[in-house]
């Protein structure tokens, strides 16, 4: 649960944006870096970015995953088989990408205030849990061995994973006076309506080709559309994810305001 001390890690003004590139998967995720650098240089306000995966299904891996020769072979092989492989800045292992995946990114300046990664994970997960409550879904955080990109701050529903989270801290203290101004990226990946069997197969194939023993179990994951008791009705993956994205962005306007944070215009 978020504490009052955790909330002090958030800037007093934040923009909620839905900037995305639906045609270029790598550029879409790299927008986090671009925006983060602008936040660090004080060229734009701190950002909560709600965005959808681009229209090419595949997986997202960490830089570490493709740092070896076998990792590069795995990437090129899957891409040759019509599975997009994008590389993200945050750590962890592979996650599903494509229509039906919703992302949430915090892009915040690094400040002298003492903070921990745990604090930012709580700030990321607690609003998501509150938002899910609005769908009649009770969620919690915890590790789940066998799930994709497993970690202490998975968002779980009835023992299955709905959201994966990761972080990256870049540079030093933010501000134009710093030679290497920095930012904090805290990121969540939520499956709204994904073919989890296909995604799991691709993730496991990637790690097999990369000569890595890591494997994922399809049964550990679940989709929001499955949990939301008809909330998305006959909507397809694209429509359901857009609906969820708009709902989440609207929720964040209210959540931040109630936390005493002014929501300002973004880019």
Residues recognised as catalytic: 149
Q: How far apart are CA 68 and CA 210, in angstroms?
A: 8
Which spans in 8-155 are helix H? Answer: 25-40, 69-80, 117-133
Q: How far apart are CA 58 and CA 28, in angstroms?
A: 13
> SS3 of 68, please?
coil
For residue 26, CA distances in Å to 3, 55, 85, 89 come to 35, 11, 8, 11
Are the C-beta atoms of residues 53 and 84 closer than 8 Å to each other?
no
Which residues, listed in sequence order, are joined to residue 49 by a DSSP beta bridge? 17, 105
Which residues, listed in sequence order, are joined to residue 129 by a DSSP beta bridge? none
Tokens 């002090």 belong to which residue?
A: 8
Q: What residues have CB less than 8 Å from 154, skipping those under 6 apart?
A: 141, 142, 143, 144, 147, 161, 163, 164, 165
198 sits in which H/E element: helix 196-209
Q: Please provide the size of the chain in residues.
A: 267
Q: How far apart are CA 109 and CA 97, in angstroms?
A: 27
Are the C-beta atoms of residues 71 and 85 closer than 8 Å to each other?
no
Structure tokens at 83: 């599975």
């Amino acid at each position: 649960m978020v504490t009052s001390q955790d909330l002090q890690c958030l800037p007093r003004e934040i923009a909620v944006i839905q900037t995305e590139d639906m045609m270029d998967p790598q550029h879409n995720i790299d927008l986090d870096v671009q925006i983060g650098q602008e936040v660090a240089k004080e060229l734009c306000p701190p950002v909560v970015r709600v965005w959808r995966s681009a229209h090419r299904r595949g997986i997202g891996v960490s830089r570490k995953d493709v740092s070896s020769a076998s990792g590069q072979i795995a990437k090129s092989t899957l891409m040759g088989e019509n599975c997009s492989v994008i590389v993200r800045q945050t750590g962890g292992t592979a996650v599903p990408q494509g229509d039906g995946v919703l992302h949430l990114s915090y892009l915040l300046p690094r400040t002298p205030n003492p903070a921990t990664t745990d604090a930012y994970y709580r700030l990321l997960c607690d609003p998501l849990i509150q938002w899910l409550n609005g769908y009649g879904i009770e969620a919690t955080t915890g590790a789940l061995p066998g799930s994709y990109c497993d970690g202490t701050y998975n968002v779980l529903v009835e023992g299955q994973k709905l959201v994966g989270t990761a972080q990256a801290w870049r540079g030093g203290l933010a501000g134009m006076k710093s030679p290497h101004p920095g930012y904090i990226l805290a990121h969540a990946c939520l499956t709204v309506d994904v073919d989890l069997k296909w995604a799991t197969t691709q993730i496991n194939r990637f790690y097999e080709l990369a000569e890595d023993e890591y494997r994922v179990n399809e049964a550990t994951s679940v989709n929001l559309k499955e949990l939301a008791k008809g909330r998305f009705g006959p909507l397809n993956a694209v429509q359901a994810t857009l609906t969820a994205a708009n709902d989440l962005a609207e929720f964040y306007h209210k959540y931040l305001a109630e936390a005493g944070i002014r929501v300002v215009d973004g880019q």
